[in-house]
Structure 1
Amino acid sequence: MEVHPKSWLWEGFSVKLDGITNVYGSTKLFNCNRKAEEVLVAATDSNEKALENCFRIVRFDRADNLRGTAPTVELPGLTEFQSSFTVLAVHSIPKKDVNLICVIFINQVEEDPENESLDQKCCINIYSAPSVDDAASTPVDYVEQVVTFNPTNVTDAFLGTPEDDQNVFLIPCENSDVHIFRNCSTDQLFKFSELSHDESQKLFPEFQFDRRFLEQVDQPLPLIMWLDVMYVPFAEHKRLSAIAWENGNIQLALTSITTSQENTTESPPIAVELLFAKVICFDGPVTQLRFFTSKAVDLGNTEINLVVCTALEFVYVYHDVVNSSFSKVVPFDDSSIEADCVLCCAVYDIDMDCQNEIVIGTFYQQIAAFKFSPVKNIYELMWERKYPGPVRALEVVDLSNDGVHDLIVVTNNSVHIMQHNIAYIAQICKQNLLAFVKRLETGGETTPPPVGGLNKGEDDSLNATAYLHKEASN
């Protein structure tokens, strides 16, 4: 296997947070004003100063030669809790013209003199904004709800299919329940409302779990640690979901979605059928799981895989889960990695060969990249790097909007931007442009390569990364 030096990935920026974040404390945004991706990080601590600087936006400053910055921001509706709230989770849905941001936090209201304890309330704030800036000029709409359940984390999905474009936030809580908040905004009103139990059962039957593998004698139901949803690219009316519990159980489910084409003033009726739901169990908690495609391009002709990070058994990848569920398991080669607890992962095409690689972050302060070897049927180590704290989260973003992704590494109390080596990128571009010119001279392709582009679909032309992938595949 080719040796993959880590020198092509370097640290361009790092900043210390004013508090401590957790594994659910960061999310990717799209700044509609700057036309670039960003990362929102929440970090809270017991001291008042940290709470005043709870949220930071990681971005490139275009006025300062694209240097990394992490200014603090304030979200409306949290001002009155500035000295008494703790963020549990933050998640966003980056759309073409707006970001939908869900913040789950505990509001410690006031101290009870008799019980010498704080009265805690769980709150869910959902925001809508084209960007999240330090300037107060950016319009931000939000709704706030005090809930009676205890949320654990949050992710997103669509009410039906992606074509319907009706977003929902999926919020797991205690007792292994999943609460679903639907976007029912209008032109004049920003609003999210919770689906009833009957509606949730009808639209998301995969969340009606078989309690036999969850219940234990004299023990509360386990918490849902992670939940991931993906819509099958080559069959857009099918939805994959994976749910991981703290006891090591994982459920993989596939549903079929049918939307009526009747012309009605209300939302079209949606019928959802559960095709299968299968469960496996690990020895210990599952720290993160994530769906991804084998190929970085040509998504209509690729397998969908599931990467599973565990606290005790390192990492496993299940290939082609749509057709094979849990039967095609591929392990990681951890022979060169010290015994460690994997906390998070990210998936993207690191070396621009059209195939996705996996980066993991661990409790013992390191990130490591792995590449699939079809000959050995194993994921082999590409490179690794140490950090000044446990790695809580990894985010893949295009901070400069040049088509080349950056890796955001979030540790306990710091954020780091990892960038590609410019010389490496220039070499790849030169090779692919020369190949393009050669095909022109021989009467081949006549479409010129794009200079740049957007990752969010604002432009119909290929972006730089897509062109590099296309050239590599040729």
Structure 2
Amino acid sequence: MKEETEDPKQAVIQELAECKAKNNLNFVNAHFFCLPSQGNVYTLTPLTDAKGFTKILVASLQRKVYCLEYTNGRPCMRDVPFTYIPGGAEIISIDAVNRSIIQEDFIIGITIIKKDDTTGQQSHFFNIYSDWDLNSDSALDVVSQNCLPLELDFVPYHLYHTKALGKKGWETVWLLSGSDSIIHLYQSDDESHSYQEVDGSQSFPEFRSVDGITLWMDILYTQEDKRRVTVTCGEGGNVHMFQVNVKSSPEVISSRCISWDYPVSSAKIFSSTNFVRTPLFLQDILRLQKQDSPRKDEDKLSIVVGTTLESCFVYRDFANVGKGFRLPESGANDAVTCCIVCDIDQDGNNEILIGTYGQAVLVYKWIQKTSEWILYHTVSLPCPVLSLAYCDVMGDGTFQLIVMTSTGIHILQHDPWEMAKVLLHRIEAFMEPRMDNLHKNEPAQDLAQDTADNEAIDNNT
């Protein structure tokens, strides 16, 4: 008899049903915060403090910056009074990072455009806010008053922070794309307590090959910071992918360019499996026990590319194979505005979230049986989506989906009952092998105890 072959479509349907049965993506619309004016794709950034609590900084086009945070379980949206943002100025982009893991060392960058009412000419500025005195209370309100304004001779676009190897070791640097088709590098000068633009051709040689206006960039360091992967995409439709060997003199070891006939709005580097970095104190214990710290599969990184007029594509293992996978229905909801990659259903594998101007967030999942991406879930919003983030802003130990639309901020929370089931399941899976080992050792322990008791009786006799 001839064996029946499994229908690929049925395999997809079956695996999709199994995934949804294990991890339900029911979201609760926890809170909504209205903005007085619209932002853009560059005006939302998470900021995590030393205690692990995450704030959301969001800027509106009309010079206002707001901080969304939860205090004692209660949401609060407040205006942060950043200095050197004059009336009539328009905020283009914002980015923020805490450079310390033991204290508050916030550094915030804001790019603005100011128009002169009399002449009609525009001036552009890159404002960097930080507190150089680390012994003081570097709270957000304090940092917002310490500004270093840098005047620009180009229109700013994407503002991005990363790390670079300098003379004194690793340091946080700013990358800013501009209308002059250059990605500018800004480094700190501790002696003068200021920031200045430096030549980035040595630290970031991959940017020499970038042409056209860069609309988005992403950087990921791998192999214990010995290599980095960089992707840029832009207005001209070119997507540049690089692998860089990070040494005292970094060099590009491989590159690839994909050209589209229309602008590419976003790109993201990711690994297929979710990875939580081992804390420093556990790394020391693993070294003493001569165990290797778990690492993600860094040699098979993928890149998702979001286009403005066509479907999005995922290039899996782009450095070796580079096969492209189309994300189905990703071009049916107007232009793609943003994308993030995260394990949103808590199964250990990362999903792709695409934000669209068509008022929808599309969730895509990789199906191993048929080797394809499928549309897993759709979140409908009342307005166009501009930016996405996935972080623990509520401080309850679970992540929330942060969606910025043209009217405000939506906080989408996972169903607490579903999260409780996931937590209990993981605790049971964690304890099961330990209980099995305990039961296996019980007879030997009982025998050893009986032998010890008999020896004690003989000695007493």
The TM tier, using the shorter chain, reads 0.7 to 0.9
2:30 maps to amino acid: G
Report the counterpart of residue 125 of structure 2 in structure 1: 123
- Comparing 315-324 with 407-416, greater Cα deviation is found at 315-324
In the alignment, the residues of structure 2 paired with residue 398 and residue 299 of structure 1 have an alpha-carbon distance, to the nearest angstrom, of 23
Report the counterpart of residue 2 of structure 1 in structure 2: 16
* Alignment pair present for 1:252 and 2:266: no
In the alignment, the residues of structure 1 paired with residue 367 and residue 314 of structure 2 have an alpha-carbon distance, to the nearest angstrom, of 13
What secondary structure, in the 3-state scheme, does the structure 2 residue paired with 1:441 have? Answer: helix
Percent of matched pairs sharing the same residue = 23
2:422 maps to amino acid: I
Report the counterpart of residue 317 of structure 2 in structure 1: 320
Report the counterpart of residue 75 of structure 2 in structure 1: 68
In the alignment, the residues of structure 1 paired with residue 60 and residue 401 of structure 2 have an alpha-carbon distance, to the nearest angstrom, of 19
- Comparing 315-324 with 222-231, greater Cα deviation is found at 315-324
Give the 3 Å change call, closer, same or farther, for CA 371–147 of structure 1 in structure 2. same
Q: Aligned-pair distance for 1:44?
A: 2.0
In the alignment, the residues of structure 1 paired with residue 114 and residue 195 of structure 2 have an alpha-carbon distance, to the nearest angstrom, of 20
Q: Could you list the per-position Cα deviations for residues 192-229 of structure 1 after superposition, in whole angstroms to 9, with x for gaps in the alignment? A: 11103xxx22221111127xxx5xxxxxxx32111111
Q: Aligned-pair distance for 1:6?
A: 6.2
Report the counterpart of residue 26 of structure 1 in structure 2: 44
* Pairing of 1:277-316 with structure 2 (within 5 A): 277-297=255-275, 298-302=294-298, 303-316=300-313
Give the 3 Å change call, closer, same or farther, for CA 278–139 of structure 1 in structure 2. closer
Name the count of aligned residue pairs: 394
Q: Could you list the per-position Cα deviations for residues 214-254 of structure 1 after superposition, in whole angstroms to 9, with x for gaps in the alignment? A: 5xxxxxxx32111111112x352111111112121111111
* Alignment pair present for 1:56 and 2:50: no
Report the counterpart of residue 224 of structure 1 in structure 2: 214
Give the 3 Å change call, closer, same or farther, for CA 436–31 of structure 1 in structure 2. closer
Q: Could you list the per-position Cα deviations for residues 123-148 of structure 1 after superposition, in whole angstroms to 9, with x for gaps in the alignment? A: 00111257764xx5667533111122
In the alignment, the residues of structure 2 paired with residue 13 and residue 6 of structure 1 have an alpha-carbon distance, to the nearest angstrom, of 20
In the alignment, the residues of structure 2 paired with residue 76 and residue 131 of structure 1 have an alpha-carbon distance, to the nearest angstrom, of 16
In the alignment, the residues of structure 2 paired with residue 163 and residue 352 of structure 1 have an alpha-carbon distance, to the nearest angstrom, of 39
In the alignment, the residues of structure 1 paired with residue 151 and residue 304 of structure 2 have an alpha-carbon distance, to the nearest angstrom, of 34
In the alignment, the residues of structure 2 paired with residue 444 and residue 163 of structure 1 have an alpha-carbon distance, to the nearest angstrom, of 50
What secondary structure, in the 3-state scheme, does the structure 1 residue paired with 2:116 have? Answer: strand
In the alignment, the residues of structure 1 paired with residue 24 and residue 113 of structure 2 have an alpha-carbon distance, to the nearest angstrom, of 40
Report the counterpart of residue 378 of structure 2 in structure 1: 384
The counterpart of 1:241, out of the listed 227, 230, 233, is: 230
* Alignment pair present for 1:333 and 2:331: no
Query: TM (normalized to structure 2)?
Result: 0.80
Report the counterpart of residue 37 of structure 1 in structure 2: 54
Report the counterpart of residue 192 of structure 1 in structure 2: 195
- Stretches of structure 1 lacking an aligned partner (at least 5 in a row): 46-50, 113-117, 215-221, 259-269, 446-474
Report the counterpart of residue 218 of structure 1 in structure 2: none
In the alignment, the residues of structure 2 paired with residue 361 and residue 163 of structure 1 have an alpha-carbon distance, to the nearest angstrom, of 39
Higher radius of gyration, 1 or 2: 2
2:254 maps to amino acid: F
Q: Could you list the per-position Cα deviations for residues 341-397 of structure 1 after superposition, in whole angstroms to 9, with x for gaps in the alignment? A: 211111111111111111111111111211111222221122112212110000111
CA contact under 8 A between 1:122 and 1:149: conserved in structure 2? yes
Q: Output the aligned Cα RMSD.
A: 2.5
Report the counterpart of residue 6 of structure 2 in structure 1: none
In the alignment, the residues of structure 2 paired with residue 163 and residue 379 of structure 1 have an alpha-carbon distance, to the nearest angstrom, of 44
Report the counterpart of residue 342 of structure 1 in structure 2: 336
CA contact under 8 A between 2:218 and 2:231: conserved in structure 1? yes
The counterpart of 1:107, out of the listed 108, 111, 114, is: 114
